[in-house]
Each structure stands twice: as structure tokens, then as C-alpha cells.
Structure 1
Amino acid sequence: MIPIKLDKHKLLGAALLLAFSACGPAQADWALATDPLAVHTLPDNRQIQAQNPPSFTWSRHPQSPASYTIEVKSGGAIVNTFTSSRNWYLPSKKFEAGTYTWRVRPSNSKEWSSPRVFIINATSGVFEVPESETLRAAIVLRPRPRGLEDNATFFSTWSAAKRADRSQVLTWLSNEVKRNMTEIAPVSDAEWPLSPGKVRTAANEAQNARVISRTNVSARQLEAASLLYRVTGEQQYLDEALRRGDLNAALSPNGGTSFANHDQGNRAIAQSLIKAVDNLGSALDAPRRARWLEMVRVRTNAMYADLAAQTGRLDQYPYDSHAASNIGFLALISTLSLGDIPEAKDWFDFSFRAFVSSYSVWSGPEGGFANGTAYAEYEADYALQIWPALAHATKVDLFTKPWARGFLDYLMHFVPPGSQTHVFGDGHETAPEMRMMKGFAAHFATPAAAWYFKNLDRTDDSLATLQAQYPLPVTTVAAAAPPVNSTYYPSIGWSAMHSDIGNAQRTSVYFKSSPYGSFNHSHGDQNGFVLASAGVPLLTEAGWYDWYDSPMWSTWYRHTRAHNALTFDGGQGQLVDGYEETMARNGRITAFVPKATVDYVAGDATLAYGGQLKSALRKLWYLRTVDAVVVQDQVSSDTPRVFEWNFHTYAPIVADAGGALSVTNQGRKVCIVQVSDGARFERRAGPPPQAGTYEEHGVFVKSAAALSGEFLTVLDVGCKKPVIKLGSNGTARTLSVGKQVVTLPN
């Protein structure tokens, strides 16, 4: 990521900082960047910390000092002073409950940042991480395999209980590996003749897709075969591991799988080789072991050089999705390489604490994932590849990190059992791979995790399960229970409202107005929503993800007109072009009130339209008693506009003789009632949908250009046709939907 010139983006930065709930104080402060893509200075705003101790972060001082001094006070007295060579710090010991003030300065000056206040209380989850020197000393003394739990013994020594629990999983993985011995063709550099680098063309993207699919299956086969040899001692698995390892090690680190050409393929090869070295131990002959380790060294050095550029580029500019994942793989590879690869010490000291200390760059401490649930699925997959091995080797269990518990809650709320598609962002149209979510949930001993694990209709991943601790925490829960029906994730600006999340026939309403705007894998869908019934999409998002930055991605898929959101003048919507601007052009949830009979959420997407609109406000009520959704949009402009209310479906939009609209998909139905005056229904065209799928696009269009407008819409789930009536309570308008009444803000 190229550093952004601050003077060019001050206004954008100010807009973003106002939108984020975790913004800093208003006065000038060197630790608070105006750049919208710079790290946020945290903790702040008297917030109760989810994690104890919190991770401190701040924007770099302009003079680039060699180190910083962090001072923490309580009751006016200094209680801690820390020194850090980077612009973040994670204390190794928890704080006592209380209210604290902290500030930071370059160690060679007295230029303190503004003081910031945070709170530690009984809800703050303890997550202590020893210093790197302590961790390294313990890791190198740990016998191999480091990445498996202490009692990772042969199957013949498993207890009866463990056999009852995991014998079937062992059989599944054994069958997979045996089948793939013949079905997975040997991988070779001849498969990817192009050197695409960062250039995106259809041909380059097609090769990139082949690289990731082929390296992933080859890496998984190597890792699985080496694990099965560790567990069973059978020669067939050792032979397969040696064959696949030699193939992976023979791939050129300067070819199609190089870091420059494909960082994901590069890391998959390095990770599989070091995990195989760890699993096979003394069964790996010395020449082969040296050859594999050399390939790990070369490929990982390329990853490290990229991440360490600009003295740790993610420290200041963290919003890089690939790099944010790569640092986790670097932490794992370095942990398993210590004592065998000299550079592993530098890799570990650079990456491990940085990785485990930070929250995900795509959310705040309460969990969530702003890039969308499809990319959250990938995050769960990465966690299953990295976190258990780190926990076994270092005794630092990331599943106990408060953010991880919040991330699981997010998955439960936005990808509940029975979901047929993801929501929001790239890949929203894809079917969830529930084994990732189930495998992640398996590591939590909570009633909600047990409910999620039990109700996901897919077996958990056999490779991940065999590498996980025994027993899995989720199996120790006495009684399963679903999470709350409705919730809100403030740092990403998402809310979920379910009729009854524990009921497979649930109605689900998802709303988004995000401070991340349309940045990275997010779309121009601020104030957008998705409606599903029993997991079946009724009002959904349009288009499909062919590849990042493709012509369709750039001109349709991520634009507002492809979502259930407002446009004007023939499909003009939120501004999604540019790089850093896409985050500053954002939304925010301004209210969220969950109740037993009605949930209410409000969003402001004005900034997302980049000055084209004076205001863009949406309020949404889910009426649980009558199973209906009320959507009120109020929009204004300095220039007369013809305002439009877009909606999309995976089934035909049917208009009856009276003009009433309905959509029926897989037996689930919704009637769409436009209550406001002066809006006509039109069908709109979009690009051809993905092969084998169906899409329709509808829009309510105001009859004439105006400076302001309102859309008032009722979504009658099940088409029960309740009586809908506008009225007044004397001081405000009301809308009755059957027996439920909503008071409408003027």
C-alpha cells in the first residue's frame, strides 16, 4: 500500500473520523491521522474495552522516531509506562478494573499526544500474551509436532472416548487422502505460464484462479497425508506426503506461484511444507528436509519483505486485505520454523504479537467483518488453518480473544443455519460453505455456539477437527440455546433482525450503513438491506463476482443500482470510484432499538453519495407480530432529482391485475406495497446473471424531479395482506400494518 499524502485528503479524513464511533478528540493531535486509511488511535472515548489488556495504537509521529513511550494513568497517578519501537503496543499483563488515561510521545521528545480515556470492567475479557522472547524460548524447547496438541499420539493409544468421538472423522480424512492420491494431478509450473504480477486481465485472473485452486488442494493433500502418518504410522501416508511435498517444493518461487505473482499460492506452499516438516519429524530424511525448509525460507522471506516494508506498513496503513491475512500466515510459519530457519526469529518477532494483538482490520473489538460474510467465511477458514497450531505451539489461544467471540456472534446472526447465500460485499451471491462456520464454532464452549454447531447442516472439516484440541469446547456445553434475535455491530454498521433466529422458518432482515463505505470488497450499498425467509432470498443483491476489478464488478456489481437502495436520475447512486475516497464516502447507523414485537434501525448514507444528495436517510422497522417490514426513505438534494427505490430478486416480480407486486421464490413469498404517493413501478435490465441463475430488477420511480422525496414501503412476508393505513396520532404520522402501528418521523 502506497502512503497517502495527508494534505490532499484532509476533508476525506475528517468525514471518516466523524463517522467512526472510535474517533479521537477534536483538537490537533499528532497521534490522530487525518488520512482515512491510517490506523485509528485507540483506545478512546471512554469506551469499555472488550479486551484486557487493550491493544494501544496511534498514528506515527512525522519525525519517525526509533521508539515511543506510552504512559498510563489511573486516578491521576502513573500506573504503567511502556516503550515500543512500533506505533502499537500490547501489554503482557491485564489491568485491574478501573478508568484509565493514556498518552504517547516519541521517546526522544516531550511531545505528548492528547490524553485518551478507557475503561476496564468485569465485562472486559482477559487475553494475556507473553513477550516474544519468552514465547520463543518455550517454542524451541517444544518437541515436534509443535502444531499439534501435547497428546497427539498414535490412534492405537487413543482413549475409548476419543475413538468414539473422532474415529469417523479419521475415516473421512483417510478416504479423502486415498481418493486424492489418484484424483489430484501432480502440480507443476507448466500450469501457469503467465507472470501477471498486479495486472488484472481476464487471462491473468483465470490463471490466478487456477493457481489458488491447485495450490490449495496440493497443500491440503500434503498437510493431511503428513497428519495421517503422524496419527496412524501407515507407510502409504508417508509416501504420499513425501511425493506431494517434493512436488510443492519443486515449484519455482519466481514463477506463477511466486509472491509477486500470487501471494496466496505462495503462502499455501510455504505453510504446507512447514506443517509437513513439523508433522513428519524424524521420518523426513535430512536432504529432503533441507530442501523443503529452503523453499519455506525463500517464499516466506518474500512475504516478510513485503510486510516489513516502510518499517511495517500495516502498522500505519492496515486496510490491505491480502497483507492482513499474510501476517497471520507469517506468524504461523515463523512459529513452526524457529530453530530450523535462522530468519524465523526476525519473522516471529515482527509478526506474532502484531497479529494476535490487533482486532481484525475489518471490524472493531465487538466482532464483525465489514468486507461481507463471504470474506468472513474465508477469515474463518484462515483461522482454522492458523489459530489451533499457534495455540498448541505457543499456548496463546486466539479463540479466547474477545474479538473472536464477537466474530462468531456475527456469523450466527448473518449466516444463520439454512442461509442459501451470503450477504453484502463481494461474493454475496455465493452459497455459504458451512463447514468453515461449523469448524469455527466448535472452538467455543457457549450455548449459542453449541446451537450453531448443532444446526449447521454440514459436517465440520475433518482436517481441521483432527488438528483441534480434544475434546472440542463446543462438545462440553450442557445445553444449546440460540443467540438473541436482533443485534447491531457498530464498528461495521450492520444490523440483523430475525423473527426467531432459533426457528428454521425465520424471517431475516439484514441492514447495512457502514463507516467502511464501498472500500475494498465492500459495495455502494449504504442503507441497503436484504430480506430472506427460511434462508430463501426474497429481496436480494444483484450480480455475481467474476473477479476483482472486472468490467462487471466496476460498472454494475458494486454499484447502488444493483442493491436494495436509493438511486436517482436513471440509476445514479453512491460514488464507488477511487481508493481512499470509497471509505470516506460512507454510511452510519444512527439508531438501533430492538424490542419484543418490533425492531427499529436507522441509517444515514448522505456521505456515500459524495455531495450529490443533501441527505439520504432510511428507517426500517421489522414488525415481528405481523411478520412485515416497513421501510421509510427520506431524501433531499440541492438540485431537482427523480428519486428511485431499487429492489432485486432471484424470482419473477409478478404484478396482478390491480398492479400489486409479489415475489415467490422456492415457495416463500413477499408482497411489496408502495404506500407513498407519486411513484410508479418499472422493470430495469442488468447484465446477464451467472449461468444457471435467475435475476429480476425492479424500481419505484417518482413521477417528477424534486428537491426532496419520500418512499414508504411495506414488505408483507408471506403475502398475508394485512390492512395498511396511514394515519395520525395528533403530533405525528402513523402507519398501521394489521394490528401493529409505527410512528413515522416527519
Structure 2
Amino acid sequence: MTFGNNILASMIALGLASIAVPSHADWALSADPIAVKPRPEQMQVQPQNPPAFTWSRHPLKPASYTVEVKSGSAVVATYTTKRNFYLPAKAFAAGTYTWRVTPSTVEAWSTPRTFVIDSTSKVFEVPESEVLRTNAIKHPRPRILPKEFMPVAQWSAAMKTDRGAALTRLTNEVTGRITSLVPIRDTDWVMFTTTTASAARSAQDTDIRTKIGLAARQAEAAALLFRLTGDVKFLNEALLRGDQLAALNPYGTTSYSNQDQATRQIAFSLAKSVDLIYDKLDATRRAAWLKAIEQRVAVIYADLAGGDGRMDQYPFDSHGGSNLGYVSVIAALLVNEIPAAQTWFDFAVRAFIHSTSVWSGPEGGFSQGTAYGTYTADILLQQWQPLGEALGLNLFNKPWAIGFTNYMMHFLPPGSPGNVFGDEREIIPNWGLTKAFASRYTTPTAAWYAKNQLGDENDLTLLTARYPLPVQTVTTAVPPANAALYPSIGWVAMHSSMADRARTSLYFKSSPYGSYNHSHSDQNSIVLNSGGRRLLMEAGYQDYYMSPLVTSWYRQTKAHNAITYDGGVGQFTQGTGENLGYNGRITAFSTSAALDYAEGDATPAYAGSLSAAIRKVWYLRGQDAVVVLDKISSPAAHKFEWNMHAAGPIKTEAPAKVAITNVDRSVCLTDLSSGSVFETRSGPPPKAGMVENHGAYVKTAAATSAEFLVVLDVGCKRPAVTLTNTASGRTLTIGTQTLNLPK
């Protein structure tokens, strides 16, 4: 991702948006690490214009807040809001601004905070709720479809060539399932008396999601095919499946309390089906479907709106964030059909557009790993496309979304062997999902990604999208930069060449999000791929969420290419909700044609057991080599370990030299520091069909400080390597490239 130099410099100097509480705390900044933080601040250039203002709630629980924005000494804007965020409807002129907020009950202005709007700040204006509601009501039905939507009989030859295959696939899918898809019933599942994670509960949740997903897809796909073809068999199928979904007990096994993903999918698909075949529903059926939608959304709304809108104050809720989006779309489709939908609309729509994702800063990215980033891309595409059509607003223009797309290009590039970091990173990605998201942009990099990435878009989203897709209007395809920093999530990508599918890719993570939610205790860890093969991988797999295997191995530092001590003791990890403050951060980053560099500080992640955990990483593009320098210190003496995990054998060549080979790709590792030996390690059995080998460089004696200096020679080319002491530090030469290292 490309950032203005002023953005990057300010973020690095200020700890790159660390979640730790800064020193200028006031009432707008809660001491609770999971509470919302005041933003914008610290002279940061805003990717979005206007920026959204957020702050923690005042303890007096006022009825409203007043936000004041100044340019110099002049007040340029004043806003009143009942919630502890505000998204202005109009952009600011370029300049430097300060803002503060006070509760309505007492004059208690927060500490002024400063932000910058410049030429890099992208204008993204969201009209007020009244305007958006009017736009939705005025949009002719179906609201989820472009006004230019045409049935197949009116398609041009070019459109048939472009989308004919998707139409055929969806037609065959729906036709086949007319007879093969078994009706769903409440009695298919049992009500659990506890929410405790277990293999049985996980299996039933998966079964509910799968069966509801198939039935819901069949209903809306049949409705869309009827709208496209006029074939009455698709109308009959849409009515049948819609009736089955509407008949499910909203307080039973598919209820919000038992399986929130199922209940939101039922309401979402019914709402879209109502919209698609609005003119073919008799009064009785329409009333039954709308009642089912209202009952299910009412429970979701009650949860999200509880505590005066709990997520305004505590936004770190992945399901809650997605549910807010589902409520937004349903409200936009049914705002004049269900009386409560106006309340849902005013509560959810602008809040959803404002927040989008709490898992990165406004510049984009996704801290919870690329697997869940891919799932998020899928959900957002399903939500944003119909919501944007109904509202008359292109949500893909949000700067966060543009950054999110660039993040996917860097961490799931064409030719990549798979996901990195976080839960389910062992799952083979659905490449078509990220490709589809990128296809909503008219940039040369999006065109490069769409052209080179594998996979097909979901036929439902493609056949409801505008024609042509934005990316199809781009004539020039250009790969993104070879290296990138995503500051607010603490992720760095370094590639030999983005244009080469057989590239070497080095990923480095030191994240302010710690091991929260779907993240792991893997701060200052690396992943190394080359030629579509894993060389240094992350170990383990998720058999089910927070299983014993997950908590004892998969999420632990010892299962990653990172630092542990005394036989695998690593970073703090306990559950998923206590870990936000036990984090890391990228403290330096630079890139050039020949050399990339990043530095991470993971000290807080070790919860006081280490007094310093600093990793410096260089990628020598000309040599296709990596240098990793770790500096560790602790209050007590430990035997420190530099862990490595491979998808092929790890062969010992000398006490501190090993070679890893994965089919036709290899890397040779040498630890140049003193007092290290290589030891083979063991781990739980890997996922079926996977190969994992484990090892570590281990210090032979316990000490309160240690250094590892490891050279990774990709391809085992075995260049000459020399390390020389100098008056100011050390000089490391690898082949024809030289690095100046600290003592």
C-alpha cells in the first residue's frame, strides 16, 4: 500500500497507532483497552475526508455530545450527536484542524486533538440518514439491482459473452437443487443448554450454517433467475424455499441466541427475495415473510442497540460488526414495508458505513488474518453491493476499502500458496472472493490482480452487479509495489517481484491487536514463501474454535516462527478477549529497489516476562536473502529459542546451519550469533494431508539477554557471508550486498 511520507512518518514516530493508552488521557479516552479510542488525533493525515470522529463515552451518560472543529483559532464546524461518534456529511478543505467534544450535561471539553487533510485524503461523503432513506424508497424495485438491470432477453452479445457462463452455472445449480435439496425443519437440530465450545456444538453450528446457507441461496438465486429469465419454475422454487425459511421458529434452533449467523442469513435472504419478486407475492405470503424478517431482525437490533448502542463504545465484536451490516441492508430494502425498519435504518446504516471494520485503521488492512479477511470480503460484497444500489452510494469508494483491497494483493497475491496469520490460515483460500472484491475498482493494480488471480466470482453477486464491472474498464494492468507496510495492523509484506507468480514473499507481523479475537500470539513472527511453496510456515490447524488443540498449540508462539524461551514459553494468550494489550508494533519501515527493512517491538506481548523483544528484518532483493536480527532481554535468566516450522524436512548441516526443502524450493538458514545450536522439536499431528516439521535455534546457556542473527538464503545458493566488527557496529556482507548492523 502507498502512503504519503507524512502519514508514514507520523505513524512510525507515534508507535503506529498502538492500542496502549497514551499519556494525554482524559475523559474521552477510556482506560479500558477494548473501549473505542478518540480519533482522529496526533497530526495524522486522514485517508478519508471527512474523517469520522470517535471518543469514549462520558461517565455522566449525557443525552448528547457537541463536537467542535477548529482551523487555527476559528471554529469551522459544530456538530451535535446522541452517540459517541460523528461522521460529517461534508468534506473539509485541505488544512490542519483540531477537534474536541463535550457532553451536553456539563461543559467538560476533551483534550483537543489534531488531524490533517491534504491532497492524499480521498473525499468520501455520506449523506444524512433522511437523504439516504429517501433514496432507498425512491429506488424502483428491485432495490438490490441496478436501475439499468436487464433480463437475459435484452443482453447484448458482449454481455452474454461476459456473463453467460455465470448464468449457466447458476441455472444448473438451482435446477439441480429443486429436487435434491432436502427441506429444512426446526427438528433437524437440538437446543444446547450451554454455550461452552465443544466438538458436538461446533459440528451442529456448522451443519446449521451449511443447511441454512444452501436453502437461503436457493431462495434468492431462484428469485433472481426468475427476474432474469421469466421462467415460472424459478418463481415456484423461490416461493417454496422462502416459505420454508419463513416457517422456521425464530426462537428455536436457528434463533439469534443459538446460531446468530443462521438467523441473520434467513432474514437477509428473505428480504432480498421479497425485493426480487415483490410483485409475485400474495398478501398472505408477503405478511408471513415480513413477519419472519421482523421477528429475527428485532432480536439482532435489540442486541446491537442495547447499552445505548453497545458497539459504539465496545466495537471489537466481529459478529456484531457483520450483523450491523445485515441490519443495514434489510432496513434499506424494507424501510417502507416494516414500520420498525425506519428505526433500524437510522440506527444502523450510517453507523455501519462509518465503522466498516474495527480490525484496522482508516487506511485499510485486516488484523485478524487473511482467511477471515477473505470471509469479510465475501460478506462486504454481499452487503455493500445491494446497500449501495439502494442508497445511491458507492461504498467501495471508502478509503478503508481501497486499502483493504491493496492488503489482499500484498498478502494473497497470485501464485501464493495460501493464507497467512490468524485463525484458519491453513484453509485453502477461495481466490475468487478477493478477486471479486478487487473487481469493483478502476485502478491498474486492481486490473492486474483480477487478470492474474485464479477463481470465479460468486454467480449471485456477479449477476446482480452493474455491467461491465469497474475493473473491466481499465486498459492498463500494473502490479502494486514490491513491499508495503500496513501501519495500524502492524503487517509488512516484502516480495522479490509482485509481477512474478514464482516470487519470494516474506511476511512480518508485529500487531497492536495482539492475539485478540482471531489473531494469534505471533508478534514479531515471519512467514516465508517462494515459488508457490511454504518454506517457513505457521504450524497447526483449527479443529474447532478454541479447542484444546487450538489453545495449547495452534495459537501459541511456539507454533510460529518467533521467539520463545525455556522449552516453548511465549507470548501471553488467554481466551480471545484479554489479549488486546499484549501486543506488538512496527517501529520502522523502509523500502527500495534493492533492500526492504522493518523493525518490530513485541515486548508488551510477553506480559512482563521479557524486558525487550526487538526483531529487525531485512530482505535483500538482489540476493533473494533475508536477515533476521533478534535482541531479547529479561529480568530473569532464560534459554531463548528461535523457532522455525517447515512444510518439508529440516536437515542439519552444522550446529547452527540447517536446510529446508519443500519439493522444488529450498532455504538454508545460518545463525551467526554465538552460543546457538539447532534442535529438532515436535508438535501435535498436523492436519490430514499436511506435512509439518519443527525446530529451533536454542541458546546453550541461560542468560538475561540474547541475540540471534539468522541469514536465510532462499534457494540455498550459498553466497559468501562475512560478519565484521566496526567501530560503530558490525558489517554483514551477503554476496554482493552489505548491511550495517548495530552492536
Residue 98 of structure 1 aligns with which residue?
95
Amino acid at match of 1:332: V
Residue 712 of structure 2 aligns with which residue?
715
Structure 2 residue 691 is matched with structure 1 residue 694: yes
Tell me how far apart the structure 1 counterparts of residues 678 and 41 of structure 2 sit (CA, whole Å): 47
Tell me how far apart the structure 2 counterparts of residues 690 and 24 of structure 1 sit (CA, whole Å): 40
| 2:147 equivalent among 150, 159, 171 | 150
Change (3 A) 1:595 1:29: same
Shift of 1:580: 4.8
Amino acid at match of 1:544: Y
Structure 2 residue 572 is matched with structure 1 residue 575: yes
Residue 343 of structure 2 aligns with which residue?
346
Residue 22 of structure 1 contacts residue 42 of structure 1 at CA under 8 Å; is this kept in 2? no
Shift of 1:21: 4.7
Change (3 A) 1:197 1:54: farther
Residue 435 of structure 2 aligns with which residue?
438
Residue 132 of structure 1 aligns with which residue?
129
| 2:731 equivalent among 724, 730, 734 | 734
| 1:166 equivalent among 163, 168, 184 | 163
Structure 2 residue 292 is matched with structure 1 residue 292: no
Shift of 1:159: 3.0
Shift of 1:278: 0.4
Change (3 A) 1:329 1:475: same
Amino acid at match of 1:326: N
C-alpha distance after superposition, 1:201-224 (max 9, x if no partner)? 111111111111111122112111
Tell me how far apart the structure 2 counterparts of residues 331 and 173 of structure 1 sit (CA, whole Å): 27
Residue 446 of structure 2 aligns with which residue?
449
C-alpha distance after superposition, 1:656-697 (max 9, x if no partner)? 488842222131111122222211111111111111211111
Residue 497 of structure 2 aligns with which residue?
500
Matches within 5 A, 1:365-514: 365-514=362-511
Shift of 1:584: 0.5
C-alpha distance after superposition, 1:99-130 (max 9, x if no partner)? 11111101232111111111111111111111
What secondary structure is seen at the aligned counterpart in 2 of 1:593?
A: strand
Residue 15 of structure 2 contacts residue 586 of structure 2 at CA under 8 Å; is this kept in 1? no
Tell me how far apart the structure 2 counterparts of residues 406 and 576 of structure 1 sit (CA, whole Å): 29
Residue 269 of structure 1 aligns with which residue?
266
Tell me how far apart the structure 2 counterparts of residues 742 and 194 of structure 1 sit (CA, whole Å): 62
Shift of 1:591: 0.6
Residue 526 of structure 1 contacts residue 608 of structure 1 at CA under 8 Å; is this kept in 2? yes
Shift of 1:730: 3.7
| 2:203 equivalent among 202, 206, 211 | 206
Residue 678 of structure 1 contacts residue 703 of structure 1 at CA under 8 Å; is this kept in 2? yes
Tell me how far apart the structure 2 counterparts of residues 686 and 207 of structure 1 sit (CA, whole Å): 29
Amino acid at match of 2:544: W
Tell me how far apart the structure 1 counterparts of residues 252 and 612 of structure 2 sit (CA, whole Å): 51
Tell me how far apart the structure 2 counterparts of residues 43 and 27 of structure 1 sit (CA, whole Å): 14
Residue 628 of structure 1 aligns with which residue?
625
C-alpha distance after superposition, 1:58-99 (max 9, x if no partner)? 100000000001111113111111100000011111111111
What secondary structure is seen at the aligned counterpart in 2 of 1:274?
A: helix
Tell me how far apart the structure 2 counterparts of residues 275 and 119 of structure 1 sit (CA, whole Å): 41
What secondary structure is seen at the aligned counterpart in 2 of 1:257?
A: coil
Tell me how far apart the structure 2 counterparts of residues 457 and 22 of structure 1 sit (CA, whole Å): 36
Shift of 1:253: 1.2
Change (3 A) 1:202 1:23: closer
Residue 527 of structure 1 aligns with which residue?
524
Tell me how far apart the structure 1 counterparts of residues 459 and 569 of structure 2 sit (CA, whole Å): 47
* TM-score w.r.t. length of structure 1: 0.96
Tell me how far apart the structure 1 counterparts of residues 427 and 163 of structure 2 sit (CA, whole Å): 30
Tell me how far apart the structure 2 counterparts of residues 563 and 512 of structure 1 sit (CA, whole Å): 11
C-alpha distance after superposition, 1:486-526 (max 9, x if no partner)? 00011000000000011111000000000000111100000
Shift of 1:196: 5.5
| 1:537 equivalent among 520, 534, 537 | 534
C-alpha distance after superposition, 1:606-660 (max 9, x if no partner)? 1100000111111111010110111111111111100001011111212348884
Residue 586 of structure 1 aligns with which residue?
583
Shift of 1:255: 1.8
Residue 662 of structure 1 aligns with which residue?
659
Residue 13 of structure 1 aligns with which residue?
none
C-alpha distance after superposition, 1:510-565 (max 9, x if no partner)? 00000000111100000001000123111010000122211111111100000000
Residue 419 of structure 1 contacts residue 432 of structure 1 at CA under 8 Å; is this kept in 2? no
C-alpha distance after superposition, 1:169-223 (max 9, x if no partner)? 2112212222232343222222211335632111111111111111112211211
C-alpha distance after superposition, 1:333-365 (max 9, x if no partner)? 111111111110111110000000125100001
* TM-score w.r.t. length of structure 2: 0.96
Amino acid at match of 1:129: V
C-alpha distance after superposition, 1:434-466 (max 9, x if no partner)? 111011011000000000001111122211111
Residue 516 of structure 1 aligns with which residue?
513
Residue 727 of structure 1 contacts residue 734 of structure 1 at CA under 8 Å; is this kept in 2? yes
Structure 2 residue 179 is matched with structure 1 residue 182: yes
Shift of 1:23: 7.6
C-alpha RMSD of the superposition: 1.6
| 1:556 equivalent among 553, 558, 568 | 553
Residue 650 of structure 1 aligns with which residue?
647
Residue 12 of structure 1 aligns with which residue?
none
Tell me how far apart the structure 2 counterparts of residues 213 and 196 of structure 1 sit (CA, whole Å): 22
Residue 359 of structure 1 contacts residue 365 of structure 1 at CA under 8 Å; is this kept in 2? no
Residue 21 of structure 2 contacts residue 31 of structure 2 at CA under 8 Å; is this kept in 1? no
Amino acid at match of 2:205: N
Residue 421 of structure 2 contacts residue 519 of structure 2 at CA under 8 Å; is this kept in 1? yes
Amino acid at match of 1:55: A
What secondary structure is seen at the aligned counterpart in 1 of 2:636?
A: strand
Residue 278 of structure 2 aligns with which residue?
281
Residue 11 of structure 2 aligns with which residue?
none
Residue 152 of structure 1 contacts residue 231 of structure 1 at CA under 8 Å; is this kept in 2? no
Amino acid at match of 2:592: K
Change (3 A) 1:282 1:542: same
Residue 197 of structure 1 contacts residue 260 of structure 1 at CA under 8 Å; is this kept in 2? no
Structure 2 residue 563 is matched with structure 1 residue 547: no
Q: Which has the larger displacement, 178-187 or 488-497? A: 178-187
Residue 232 of structure 2 aligns with which residue?
235
Matches within 5 A, 1:2-151: 20-21=17-18, 26-151=23-148
Amino acid at match of 2:274: V
Unmatched 5+ stretches in structure 2:
1-13
Residue 242 of structure 2 aligns with which residue?
245
| 2:679 equivalent among 682, 705, 717 | 682
Shift of 1:162: 2.4
Q: Which has the larger displacement, 262-271 or 250-259? A: 250-259
Shift of 1:579: 5.2
Residue 9 of structure 2 aligns with which residue?
none
What secondary structure is seen at the aligned counterpart in 1 of 2:579?
A: helix
Amino acid at match of 2:131: T
